[in-house]
A and B are shown apart, each in its own frame.
Chain A
Amino acid sequence: MLADMTVRDEHAIPAIVAEGLVKRYGETTALDGVNLEVPAGTVFGLLGPNGAGKTTAVRVLATLIRPDAGTALIGGYDVRRDSHRVRRLIGLTGQYASVDEMLTGAENLLMIGRLLGQSRSEAKARARELLAEFRLDDAADRPAKTYSGGMRRRLDLAASLVGRPRLLFLDEPTTGLDPRSRNEMWEVVRTLVGEHGVTVLLTTQYLEEADQLADDIAVVDHGRIIAQGSPDELKRDTGTQTLAVRPVAGSDLPLVISTVTDIVGASPDIAGTLVSAQVTDPAVLPAVVRRLDDAGVTVGEITLRSSSLDEVFLSLTGHPAEESAAGPRAPGATPSGSGGTTVSASAAAGGHDDDDHDDDDPAARIPAATRS
């Protein structure tokens, strides 16, 4: 298994090749020339705020809508000319592709199996298998409208796997889920890719999600891909690092701010007692330490680290990734996503100043969604 994969890799047709995709809705340009290439067997993340065009891209690639310009090939098949063949290869789960709430979990899966040409007994067996795999066997005979959010999402995902798709589209798979359900979803995606060789294209507003799951990320804003690469490449390419200082005593805060401003040459961001600033020269760290030590300030925390994807996004788009710091469910804002030296700017804002959503809060500067 390990041996043959490397050889075949070279010749495998990419799962997705898209060139110059354009989609307009009246005055709004939802996709403005999108190019993508997703190798088979990888996870590709489309990252961007609401209204960036992520869902439109998925809908074009999943044959639900036709692009106004450009081409897209799924496993070598054109989404326009060969849409029926494309549909045999794909599974779609997300905000807009849902199960029938009036049917039970089992009936939903049975229906899809039958639609895919399985015999009644095949479809039943496949439904049972998937329900067990997604821990829905107890709820199998209950209407889906009685399911919790996490169960709904699992059933949605199970429904898109009935036909064993080679390519899975996950449109914001964890939006609105609690952290536990979100982690479960991530595990499922990893298993699908790792054990079943499925290619996954996922869209997300959550930087941590893309960071956790994706081999490659395309950052989308206003219908365009503004950056592309592995999470590490993206972080490296922005070239900046983040300096964060937290004094033990709150009374030292003004001194810390003035010191950092002085050394860095720009006003830092302040979140509670955490003072952070973008820097390009690593030498600022010892300089800050020395100066604060001379002034007799006791520092509780001081770090210099690579930028988080939040900061990458901010530096690429000029505006923060929407909602990533606003909601309690946003992965970027949960303490679990921010151990020690990887406290991101938004996590710090969300984690330490939860009740203080004033104008300094990145979430307060969210641009209005451009497309509903």
Chain B
Amino acid sequence: MSTLTATLPEQSRRREPWPDPTGSARVSPLDTLRHILTLAWRNLVQVKHNPTELIDFSLQPLMFLLLFTYVFGGAIAGSTSDYLTFALPGLIVQNTLFTTLNTGTGLNTDLTKGVFDRLRSLPIARSAPLAGRIVADLAKQVWAIGILLGLGYILGFRIETGPLQALAAIGLVVLFALCASWISVLVGMLVSEPEKVMVFGFTLIFPLTFISNVFVQTNTMPGWLQAFVKVNPVTSLADATRGLFIGGPVLTPTWHVLLWGAGLVAVFAPLAVNAFKRRV
């Protein structure tokens, strides 16, 4: 093995003293924000190279809106325009909750592909990889809400309250989605591959959003189902959103939503963090 000595000639090995790293042992809040925004940019620029994702979170809500309004609307509410007014706020809620699954899928992809380890080996804020992902997903959600409202407007939906209430409605939906995405994060930490997040998520979120008053009035359902619908936070969120977009009771459902949101974070955030620690 004579090549061994030729591999690293002694004279070429420039041994410099070990440098002292400059800077503090902690990340400043401003740097943390910068890291989060950089990683959010990363998650958004992915869309540029994967246009199907854009279709996924733009076209899907539109299809739901058109289908429910024109296929079921007449049968459920007697007229498609009445149904549009009833269903659009609920569809915004439903779509936003579905989209929270992307957070778990994305995190799981990063974990399984090794991107997460690369990020964690960098001198950046510990929270930035997760927070950057969530910020990007929120941006996508706001985009989808905008698309739904835009198409809704073309079809005849009108916000009957005011711009502030409308913004409050969007804010409330996004806030609740933020709380609910901890479930998605937990699932993303637990499953072995990204596709499974969708499977787990759908079995959970599909019934949760359909067994609510998103699509039909609660009083049309059997009594035992009504009991579930009434405690379902999706119902409260749909009620609050309707109230803020087109008028009606707001305060009680909003409190209900905020309490549920806080409860979800209290339960699922520690579980998710724990699952993360056990995973790496």
Q: Which A residues contact B (CB, under 8 angstroms)?
A: 1-2, 5, 8-9, 11-13, 15, 39-43, 59, 62-65, 75-77, 82, 84-85, 87-92, 95-104, 107, 111-112, 114-117, 143, 159-160, 163, 166, 190, 193-195, 197, 211-213, 215, 231-232, 235, 308, 342
Q: Which of B8, B17, B38 contacts A11 (CB 8 A)?
A: B17
Q: Are B3 and A41 in contact (CB under 8 A)?
A: no
Q: How many A-B residue pairs have CB under 8 A?
A: 151
Known: A42-B13, A211-B4. A115 touches B124 (CB 8 A): yes
Known: A96-B114, A232-B4. A87 touches B121 (CB 8 A): yes
Nearest A residue to B128 via CB reads: A115
In whole angstroms, what is the CA distance A87 to B113 when docked? 21
B36–chain A nearest beta-carbon distance, Å: 10
In whole angstroms, what is the CA distance A65 to B122 when docked? 14
Known: A84-B123, A92-B117. A41 touches B15 (CB 8 A): yes
Q: Are B1 and A342 in contact (CB under 8 A)?
A: yes
Give a binary string over B40-75; 1 marks a CB under 8 Å from any A CB, 0 the rest.
011001100110000000000000000000000000
Complex interface: chain A residues within 8 A of B1 (CB)? 211, 231-232, 235, 308, 342
Known: A84-B123, A95-B114, A102-B46. A197 touches B38 (CB 8 A): no
In whole angstroms, what is the CA distance A115 to B9 when docked? 36
Surface stretch bound by A, among B23-31, B157-165, B210-218, B267-275? B23-31
A289–chain B nearest beta-carbon distance, Å: 24
Q: Are B49 and A143 in contact (CB under 8 A)?
A: yes
Q: Are B8 and A115 in contact (CB under 8 A)?
A: no
Nearest 4 CB-CB pairings of A with B? A98-B114, A41-B15, A87-B123, A92-B121
Complex interface: chain B residues within 8 A of A212 (CB)? 3-4, 7
Q: Are B113 and A98 in contact (CB under 8 A)?
A: yes
B242 located at the interface, meaning its Cβ lies under 8 Å from any Cβ of chain A in the complex: no
A297–chain B nearest beta-carbon distance, Å: 30
Q: Are B121 and A90 in contact (CB under 8 A)?
A: yes
Question: Which residues 111-131 of B sit at the A interface, judged by CB distance below 8 A?
Answer: 113-115, 117-124, 128
Q: Which of B25, B27, B121, B124 contacts A82 (CB 8 A)?
A: B25
Complex interface: chain A residues within 8 A of B31 (CB)? 117
Complex interface: chain B residues within 8 A of A9 (CB)? 15
Q: Are B280 and A102 in contact (CB under 8 A)?
A: no
Listed A/B pairs (9) with beta-carbon separation below 8 Å = A5-B13, A8-B17, A9-B15, A13-B17, A77-B21, A84-B26, A98-B113, A115-B122, A116-B124
Known: A114-B38, A212-B4, A215-B8. A101 touches B113 (CB 8 A): yes
Q: Are B123 and A97 in contact (CB under 8 A)?
A: no
Q: Are B38 and A166 in contact (CB under 8 A)?
A: no
A152–chain B nearest beta-carbon distance, Å: 11
Nearest A residue to B122 via CB reads: A115
In whole angstroms, what is the CA distance A215 to B123 when docked? 29
Known: A96-B117, A98-B114, A190-B7. A88 touches B123 (CB 8 A): yes
In whole angstroms, what is the CA distance A136 to B42 when docked? 20
In whole angstroms, what is the CA distance A64 to B4 when docked? 32
Q: Are B49 and A103 in contact (CB under 8 A)?
A: yes
Complex interface: chain B residues within 8 A of A15 (CB)? 18
Q: Which of A13, A85, A194 contacts B12 (CB 8 A)?
A: A194
Q: Are B16 and A41 in contact (CB under 8 A)?
A: yes
B39 located at the interface, meaning its Cβ lies under 8 Å from any Cβ of chain A in the complex: yes
Assuming A5-B15, A97-B117, A103-B46, what are 16 further A-B pairs, CB within 8 angstroms?
A: A9-B15, A13-B17, A40-B16, A76-B18, A92-B121, A95-B114, A97-B114, A98-B114, A102-B50, A103-B42, A107-B42, A117-B31, A160-B118, A190-B7, A194-B8, A232-B1
B223 located at the interface, meaning its Cβ lies under 8 Å from any Cβ of chain A in the complex: no
Complex interface: chain B residues within 8 A of A116 (CB)? 122-124
Task: Specify which of B1, B110, B118 lies most central, judged by the most chain A CB atoms within 10 Å of its CB.
Answer: B118
Complex interface: chain B residues within 8 A of A190 (CB)? 7-8
In whole angstroms, what is the CA distance A342 to B1 when docked? 7
Complex interface: chain B residues within 8 A of A99 (CB)? 115, 118
Complex interface: chain A residues within 8 A of B17 (CB)? 8, 11-13, 40
